Amino acid sequence: MTSPATTDSAPPQLSAGPRPAPGPAADEGLARRLRALACTAPLHDLDVRKANLAGEYSTYGMAEVALSAIDLVTLNMDFDTGADHEQIVARLLPRIAAQAPQRPAAEHERVARWVLENLINVGSVDRGFRAVYGTFATDGSYVRRDYDFKLIEEVPGYGGSVYLRTTDEAVNVLVGALDTDVTSAQIAAEVKLEVLISRGRLADAQLAAEQARYRTVQYSETLRKALDATRRNVRAVDWLEAVPDMIAEALDHVADRYRHENAILTNIRKARDESEDPEQKRRAAELVDIVKDCIRRHTQLQSRLLEAGPLFRAEQDRQAFATPSARAGLDLYGQLVAPLLPLPVESAIKVTDAFFARGTGLRTPVSVRVGDLVDILLTPPQEREHLGIEMPEPDLIATPDDSRFSEQQLAGAKELLDLPPDAPRRLSGLLAEARGRDAELPYLVALLAVHAASPAVGTAYRQGEEKLLFAVDDGTELDDPEFGGADLIVGTALLDAAGMAADRTEAA
């Protein structure tokens, strides 16, 4: 089988001499650099276009504002959401104000918003940028290609809010480290930091610490994406090797960095406390904050890493072990979506059009009569009421009075029970008297008396009542044709209203 292979490989070798271009392999590196270069273009573009703005904006360094905006968004990106638009604008203001202190604050804010909107590229449909570059294809032909990228993207947050995140392109542009391994770059930055601190060069140390923080953010971003994907589809993520390796590596990394940064923190604190120079002191204090933030982010990353395993197992249970059904039908994802996405869009659109045409159901066409149309067209537009529609008058229905006793009876019973405080009476006597007035009255009197057996002293005290009806059982049995039980002694107790009021004010 070897001989045909050698003859096969001969013709390309012969024809390889007069190539028009260095070939795709060499071009690939060039394409990568061209793309990297393209990522910086929007920043340069800001400074070029600021002349077109209405007003005198040439004093502002737009690229500087833009870079600092990307910095701020990157640093404010939390694990789950992104940075808040308004917060970024607010934090940009001091820098912009410093560039042109004599200008009004409204203009500063306008500049901040203009820069941020241009980094998102609000005007374009995709809210992104496109650069055109050329490469040689494998057959030697020259092809112009479109490179689409974003610097700051808007992501949906909780409750329909919109957050900002920097893209990988932006982070790469910002730290100027294209195609670098995250872990090794981090180690390099740490080493650099330690050296710088030991030499007392705090300005450089701060830079290195900030770089280390970008790396940390990038690292958690990778993990976040993997976990999100796992929640949707366990199989979409390589949990056999890639992710467990990544997690183990990241956990080691966190432990390592944590030790490292605590050591650095001790060093800088010492530098801060020992330094005589106020400028040096301030720098060191800032650095302490940065390193503290790094440690916080590492801790956050670590807790996420520890949750990753259980999350995978739970998702695996939920997704893979769902009860299979005997019947099988069309696999919408496997047979339609997945094969569709890699197709060229001009072919894929045929499939989506077919799905749309058959998948949207029906709409009953609206038909208008000419008579109605005239009416509709001639109807003046309805005035929007500022206060909303008028409240309808509530239609009240009188509820029937179904009380057991009438107001009159209650008054009668109250009168009967209005006993002088020094002369309590037996219930039997009260009942007999009540019976003399009204056949129903004894029931009400009995009820009130029983109720008074447990008088609401607390309530009376709070409300400042002057007297209180009470009933006491002294063991005598009630001898009555209608009621049984104890023949209560019913009386009125006088309460010291003034004293109670004084007590209350004192307590308060």
Partner 1 sequence: MTEHPEEHAEWGEPEASGQARVAAPVTPADAADAARLVAFGLQPKLQPSRDQEYAELLRRYREDPPFARLADAVATGLGLVVLEVSPRAGMAVTAAEDSVFAVRMGDYARRTAADSTDRFLHGLAHLSVAALAFPRPEDLADDGYIGRVSVNGVDAFVRQACRKLEEQAEEHGENTDPATDAPGLEAAWRIWARRSSTGATKDTRRLASSTTGIVGKAVAFLTDSGFLQRTGDDGGGTYRTTARYQLQVRDMAGTAAMAELLDLGVVPVTDGTATLAPPMDEDAGELVADAGLPFHS
Residues of span 159-198 touching partner 1 by CB under 8 A: 159-160, 162
Residue 229 in contact with partner 1, rule: CB under 8 A: yes
CB of 220 to partner 1, least distance (A): 17
CB of 138 to partner 1, least distance (A): 10
Interacting positions 196-225 with partner 1 (CB under 8 A): 225
Query: Which of 18, 104, 359, 381 forms a contact with partner 1 (CB under 8 A)?
Result: 359
Interacting positions 14-43 with partner 1 (CB under 8 A): 28, 31
The number of angstroms, rounded, from the C-alpha of 312 to the middle of its chain's C-alpha atoms is 23
CB of 313 to partner 1, least distance (A): 15
Residue 342 in contact with partner 1, rule: CB under 8 A: yes
The DSSP symbol for 468 reads: E
Distances (CA, A) of 161 to 118, 119, 164: 20, 19, 10
Closest to partner 1 by CB, 6 or 323: 323
Residue 101 in contact with partner 1, rule: CB under 8 A: no
Non-local (6+) Cβ contacts of 59 within 8 A are 99, 100, 103
Total count of residues recorded for the chain: 508
Residue 269 in contact with partner 1, rule: CB under 8 A: no
List the structure tokens of 477: 């049995």
Closest to partner 1 by CB, 2 or 138: 138
CA–CA gap between residue 486 and residue 476 (Å, rounded): 6
Distances (CA, A) of 116 to 46, 77, 412, 460: 11, 15, 81, 67
Interacting positions 429-488 with partner 1 (CB under 8 A): none
CA–CA gap between residue 140 and residue 478 (Å, rounded): 119
Query: Which of 22, 26, 176, 356 forms a contact with partner 1 (CB under 8 A)?
Result: 356
Angle (CA) 322 224 177, round 5°: 145
CA–CA gap between residue 318 and residue 273 (Å, rounded): 55
Q: Which stretch binds partner 1 (CB under 8 A): 137-145, 183-191, 378-386, 456-464?
A: 137-145
List the structure tokens of 437: 């007035």
Angle (CA) 127 131 137, round 5°: 130
Query: Which of 16, 328, 376, 391 forms a contact with partner 1 (CB under 8 A)?
Result: 328
Q: Which stretch binds partner 1 (CB under 8 A): 174-182, 226-234, 280-288, 453-461?
A: 226-234
> What is the identity of the amino acid at 163?
Y
List the structure tokens of 339: 């094969």
Residue 340 in contact with partner 1, rule: CB under 8 A: yes
The number of angstroms, rounded, from the C-alpha of 98 to the middle of its chain's C-alpha atoms is 32
Residue 422 in contact with partner 1, rule: CB under 8 A: no
CB of 238 to partner 1, least distance (A): 10
Residue 105 in contact with partner 1, rule: CB under 8 A: no
